[in-house]
Amino acid sequence: MTQTPDTLTGSCLCGGVTYTATGPFRDVVACHCGQCRKTSGHHVAATRIAQDGLEITSGETLTWFQSSEIAERGFCGRCGGNLFWRRFDDDKISIFAGTLDTPTGLKMTRQIRTEEASDYYTPPAGIPTTPSAG
């Protein structure tokens, strides 16, 4: 069984945004909501840590977009890589798992909002789904 390191590094595609993340890390959750589909082109797979565990080591191209009344998304303004999602009222931040350098030791253990998955895609049956609230 692989263990998740206490500290992981990551970046966007062009390297304009690099970061160091210190856990503990939540298992990866796949979100199929409309916003995640639109920002990622498919669905988002993200881990989560305390915001004070995230150190931006190079942020020259980091841009934040307020994607709703409750949250914002961090992405690279040069290559468009989606990196982060955070609620305004929370001390946690989600990190898009694909931006982490490997090996991560993380596992996808849950998916949410599968009812919003696009019609071309059926979410995997082997990963538990948490029902959406409201």
Confidence tier at 130 by pLDDT (50, 70, 90): confident
Burial of 113 (0-12, 13-18, 19+ CB in 10 A): buried
Fold of 7-117: 2.170.150
pLDDT at 84: 98
Whether the full predicted model's pTM is greater than 0.85, yes or no, is yes
For residues 28 and 109, is the Cβ–Cβ distance under 8 A? yes
pLDDT beyond 80 at 26 = yes
Question: What does the pLDDT read at residue 5?
Answer: 78
